[in-house]
């Protein structure tokens, strides 16, 4: 998927994570701020890369600000940011075309 515009998802509240994504300059660039970075930094980055790979995002700048989110929350926020950045929301895609909805669901499944 080609990242067409800047987008974000999530919040800076406890147990959540804020994810920003924008068009890249030829590769993936991921930055991370987390209160648990020393212990879980690698695991967080691994999960972010997995979701991006399953959503076929190869060229983007991604900023992750973690507030102690569980992995299921992290994966949800990255997926949401990607879907917003490709120019359509999941809900509108799904309402318009069932195949797209399934693709969105599949994207989440594979990301897990």
Residues that bind other proteins (CB under 8 A): 9-10, 13-16, 69-73, 75-77, 79-80, 83-84, 89-95, 98, 101-102, 104-105, 108-109, 112
Instruction: Work out how close the CB of 86 gets to other proteins at its nearest, in angstroms, rounded to a whole number.
Output: 12
Between 60 and 86, name the residue whose CB sits nearer to other proteins: 86
Give the position of tokens 């990301």: 111
19 within 8 A of 10, measured Cβ to Cβ: yes
Which one, of 60, 77, 59, lies nearest residue 68 by Cα? 77
CB 26, min distance to other proteins, A: 28
Q: Which residue, 22 or 77, has its beta carbon nearer to other proteins? A: 77
- Output the CA–CA distances (angstroms, integers) from residue 39 to 7, 44, 46, in the order listed: 28, 10, 13
């Amino acid at each position: 998927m080609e990242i067409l515009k800047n987008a974000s998802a999530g919040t800076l509240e406890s147990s959540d994570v804020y994810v920003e994504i924008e068009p890249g300059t030829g590769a993936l660039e991921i930055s991370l701020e987390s209160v648990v970075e020393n212990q879980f930094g690698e695991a967080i980055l691994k999960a972010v890369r997995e979701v991006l790979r399953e959503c076929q995002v190869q060229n983007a700048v991604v900023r992750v600000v973690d507030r102690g989110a569980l992995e299921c929350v992290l994966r949800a926020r990255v997926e949401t940011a990607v879907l917003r950045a490709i120019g359509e929301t999941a809900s509108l895609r799904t309402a318009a075309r069932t195949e797209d909805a399934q693709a969105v669901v599949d994207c989440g499944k594979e990301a897990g």
